[in-house]
Amino acid sequence: MSITRTVLALAAVAVVAAGCSDDSTTHSTQHSSTTASTTTAAARTDFNDADVNFLQMMYPHHAQAVEMSKLVPNRTQNQQLIALAAQIEQAQAPEMRQITDLLTSFGEPAPSAEGHGGHGMPGMMTEEQMSALEAASGAEFDRQWLRMMIEHHQGAVEMAKPELAQGVNPEAKRLATKIIADQEGEIATMRGMLGQS
């Protein structure tokens, strides 16, 4: 009888100990992971206001370029223009994801396509201009789209240059460098398509 009691008592102690052990392990694991994530979030200091401003403005700017590019396939038969619009969309949509990731890593809210309402951003089209573009088709659409996208790209280049001069985040500066190179190249292509030198 005493052996049975002893075994039962030992089993009970083992269960309680295991329960305590599991609980404390889980708690300490949760605590350490919470601490780690907090530390990671707080550790990112490799950016300044210029980086944040550049990214917050470039996101809605890119969003409008993607919106303009999506209009192309249904409004023109110009294969060169269709290819160019696809190229712009394929370049800028991933950059929008990169911008979101960067801003989130800085502890900033995710950007919005409606951000800044277009105010103070060079090259942004007004609602009236976008409506006129949507209503056009054929050769008239081609001309409007090219002129508007040239202006839009020039605005992006203008916004990217201060980031190179004033920003400190290496990823944001690399993005600004890529935007300038890509969009200046596309401006030259679009001017050629319009017959401009």
d(CA 160, CA 55) in angstroms, rounded, equals 9
Closest CA to 116 of 161, 54, 66: 54
User: What is the amino acid identity at position 90?
Assistant: Q
Contact indicator for 148, 133 with CB cutoff of 8 Å: yes
Closest CA to 129 of 85, 73, 87, 67: 67
pTM reported for the whole predicted model? 0.77
Classify residue 177 by its DSSP letter.
H
What is the residue extent of each domain of the chain? 1-43, 46-193
Closest CA to 175 of 44, 54, 84: 54
Q: At what angle do helices 138-166 and 170-193 cross, to 10 degrees?
A: 150
Domain 46-193 is in which class?
mainly alpha
Three-state SS at 112? coil
Give the pLDDT of the chain (197 residues) as one tens digit per residue: 555 454 444 444 444 444 444 444 444 444 444 444 444 445 589 999 999 999 999 999 999 999 999 999 999 999 999 999 999 999 999 999 999 999 999 999 989 887 545 556 899 999 999 999 999 999 999 999 999 999 999 999 999 999 999 999 999 999 999 999 999 999 999 999 999 85
Quickly count: other Cβ atoms within 10 Å of residue 130's Cβ. 16
**Residues near 92 by Cβ (< 8 Å), separated by ≥ 6?**
62, 65, 66, 69
